[in-house]
Amino acid sequence: MDDKQIITLIADTLKLQFKQVKNTAELLDADNTVPFIARYRKELTGSLDEEQIRCIQDQLRYIRNLEERKQTVLKSIEEQGKLTPELQGKILSAQKLQEVEDLYLPYKPKRRTRATVAREKGLELLADLMWLQEIETGSFEEIASRYLNTEKGIDQIEDALSGARDIIAERISEHAEFRQTIRRLSIEAGMIRSEGIDEEAGKTYEIYIDYTESVKKVPPHRILAINRGEKEAMLRVWIEVDQDPIIEYLFDNVITNPASLFTGELKTACEDAYQRLIAPAIQRELRNMLTEKADEHAIRIFAENLRALLLVPPLRNQIIMGIDPGYRTGCKVAVIDETGKYMNGITIYPHPPQKRTDESRSILKDLIIRFGVRIVAIGNGTASRETELLVADLIRETDRELHYTIVNEAGASVYSASPVARQEFPDLEASMRGNISIARRLLDPLSELVKIDPKSIGVGLYQHDVNQTMLSESLDHVVESCVNAVGVDVNTASYSLLRYVAGINSRIAENIVKYREACGKFLTRKDLMSVSGLGQNSYMQSAGFLRIPDGSEFFDSTSVHPESYAAAQKLLEHLEIDITELRSKSQRFQEKLKQSRNSLDALSGICGCGPETLSDIIDCLEKPNRDPRDEMPKPVLRSDVLSMEDLYEGLVLKGTIRNVVDFGAFVDIGVKQDGLIHLSQMAKRYIKHPLEVLKVGDVVDVKILNVDIARGRIGLSMILDS
241-271: per-residue pLDDT in tens? 999 999 999 999 999 999 999 999 999 999 9
Residues 712 and 683 in one domain: yes
What three-state secondary structure class fits 323?
strand
Give the C-alpha separation, 122 to 125, whole Å: 7
Residue 85 lies in a domain: no
What pLDDT score does 473 carry? 92
CATH number at residue 67: 1.10.10.650
Tell which of 77, 99, 119 closes a domain: 77
CATH number at residue 676: 2.40.50.140
- Which domain range does residue 575 map to? 559-624
Residues 500 and 571 in one domain: no
- Would the pLDDT of 201 be above 80? no
Residues 63 and 28 in one domain: yes
pLDDT digit string, tens, across residues 22-68:
999 999 999 999 999 999 999 999 999 999 999 999 999 999 999 99
Q: Which helix (H) or strand (E) holds 87?
A: helix 85-93
Residues 651 and 610 in one domain: no
CB atoms within 10 A of CB 448: 25
Q: For residue 440, what are the contacts with CB-CB under 8 A and spacing of at least 6?
A: 320, 322, 336, 340, 447, 448
State what percent of residues in the chain have pLDDT above 70. 99
Residue 504 lies in a domain: yes
Q: Residue 113 — pLDDT band, cuts 50, 70, 90?
A: very high
Give the C-alpha separation, 629 to 645, whole Å: 36
What pLDDT score does 721 carry? 80
Residues 356 and 498 in one domain: yes
How are beta strands 342-348 and 331-336 bridged, if at all? antiparallel
CB atoms within 10 A of CB 629: 19
Tell which of 77, 104, 123 closes a domain: 77
> Residue type at 541?
Q
pLDDT digit string, tens, across residues 664-679:
999 988 887 889 999 9
Asked if residues 476 and 482 have their Cβ atoms less than 8 Å apart, the reply is: no
Q: Environment class of residue 505 by beta-carbon count within 10 Å: exposed (0-12), middle (13-18) or buried (19+)?
A: middle
Higher local confidence (pLDDT), 399 or 440: 440
What pLDDT score does 636 carry? 84
- Would the pLDDT of 94 be above 70? yes
* Full DSSP string of 179-246: HHHHHHHHHHH-EEEEEESSHHHHHH-GGGTEEEEETTT--HHHHHHHHHHHHTTSEEEEEE--HHHH
Q: Which residues pair with 678 in a beta bridge?
A: 664
* Full DSSP string of 112-161: --HHHHHHHTT-HHHHHHHHHT---SS-HHHHHHTT-BGGGTB-SHHHHH
- Would the pLDDT of 460 be above 80? no
DSSP character for 174? Answer: T
Q: What value does the mean pLDDT take over residues 642-662?
A: 90
What pLDDT score does 671 carry? 84
**Which pTM was predicted?**
0.87
Q: Considering only CA atoms, which of 309, 307, 618 is closest in space to residue 485? A: 307
Give the C-alpha separation, 438 to 455, whole Å: 17
pLDDT digit string, tens, across residues 346-364:
999 999 999 999 999 999 9
- Would the pLDDT of 72 be above 70? yes
Q: What value does the mean pLDDT take over residues 119-134?
A: 95
Q: Residue 145 — pLDDT band, cuts 50, 70, 90?
A: very high
Residue 109 lies in a domain: no
Asked if residues 70 and 91 have their Cβ atoms less than 8 Å apart, the reply is: yes
Residues 365 and 438 in one domain: yes
Average pLDDT value over all residues in the chain: 93
What pLDDT score does 492 carry? 93
Residues 582 and 498 in one domain: no
CATH number at residue 396: 3.30.420.140
- Count of domains forming the chain: 4
> Residue type at 432?
M
Tallying the residues shown for the chain, one arrives at 722
Q: What value does the mean pLDDT take over residues 455-483?
A: 87
Q: Considering only CA atoms, which of 64, 69, 68, 71 is closest in space to residue 29? A: 64
Give the C-alpha separation, 159 to 532, whole Å: 74
The secondary structure of 486-507, three-state, reads HCEECCCCCHHHHCCCCCCCHH
Q: What value does the mean pLDDT take over residues 135-152?
A: 91
∠ at Cα 28 (308, 565), nearest 5°? 75
Residues 593 and 651 in one domain: no
Residues 568 and 713 in one domain: no
Residue 263 lies in a domain: no
Residue 182 lies in a domain: no
Q: Residue 722 — pLDDT band, cuts 50, 70, 90?
A: low
Q: What is the CA radius of gyration of the chain?
A: 33
Residues 482 and 338 in one domain: yes
pLDDT digit string, tens, across residues 279-299:
999 999 999 999 999 999 999
pLDDT digit string, tens, across residues 485-544:
999 999 999 999 999 999 999 999 999 999 999 999 999 999 999 999 999 999 999 999
Q: For residue 509, what are the contacts with CB-CB under 8 A and spacing of at least 6?
A: 495, 498, 499, 501
DSSP alpha helices (H): ranges in 214-356? 220-231, 243-254, 263-272, 279-310
Q: Residue 198 — pLDDT band, cuts 50, 70, 90?
A: confident
Region of 317 on the Ramachandran plot (φ > 0 left; ψ -120 to 50 alpha; else beta): left
Residue 704 lies in a domain: yes
What pLDDT score does 154 carry? 94
What pLDDT score does 605 carry? 93
Residue 37 lies in a domain: yes
Residues 358 and 505 in one domain: yes
Tell which of 595, 624, 653 closes a domain: 624
Give the C-alpha separation, 513 to 509, whole Å: 7
How are beta strands 375-379 and 403-407 bridged, if at all? parallel
Asked if residues 483 and 540 have their Cβ atoms less than 8 Å apart, the reply is: no
Residues 342 and 421 in one domain: yes
Give the C-alpha separation, 668 to 379, whole Å: 13
Residue 432 lies in a domain: yes
